[in-house]
Amino acid sequence: MFEKLDTPEEVFSFKLGAALKMENKVLEMLGELQEQTNRDEIRQLLAKHAGETREHIANIERSFELLGEEPDDSPCPAIEGIEKEGKATLKKIDDSIVDAGILASVIETEHHEIGVYEVLVTNAEARGAPEVAALLRKNLEQEQRTLDTVRTAAERIAHQGYAVAV
């Protein structure tokens, strides 16, 4: 849609479109990771986050509606890079520790998503779009909670793995 970004509003819309692309890719990645995990606990965690991700997508789409804009099909090369790195890593990981690799990939993805939403919330507020900011803040808060949950699971699994290896 945008060839050149000339205004803060265009930058915001472009970044919002990239966030939509990001969330759609994350939803796809979560489905793939659910198939690869060995633990029901992680499968359930990923399924729960997939549900939240669907809400994030709806919130972004609603944000475009509130702004009176069509969703922009902006690229999101960062999430594509995170996906590529995660897949390459998981191919090399022994099946006995694949869950630790999955959780590491999810943590990296969550950090990226949190950064994206922090920028979007700030700019929605600056743009004078409080309803959009509220929707995006909801996404941010869910991503932060997910990060905490995944980090706790990753720490537990990491400690179990080292205890077995010793």
If residue 4 lies in a helix (H) or strand (E), which one and from where to where? none
Task: Give Cα separations from 95 to 36, 37, 46, 65, 99 (angstroms).
Answer: 9, 9, 18, 44, 8
Average pLDDT over residues 90-95: 90
Query: What are the chain's domains?
Result: 8-165 (1.20.1260.10)
Closest among 139, 74, 84, 86 to 113, alpha carbons compared: 139
pLDDT in tens, 113-164: 999 999 999 999 999 999 999 999 999 999 999 999 999 999 988 887 655 4
Q: 26-60: per-residue pLDDT in tens? A: 999 999 999 999 999 999 999 999 999 999 999 99
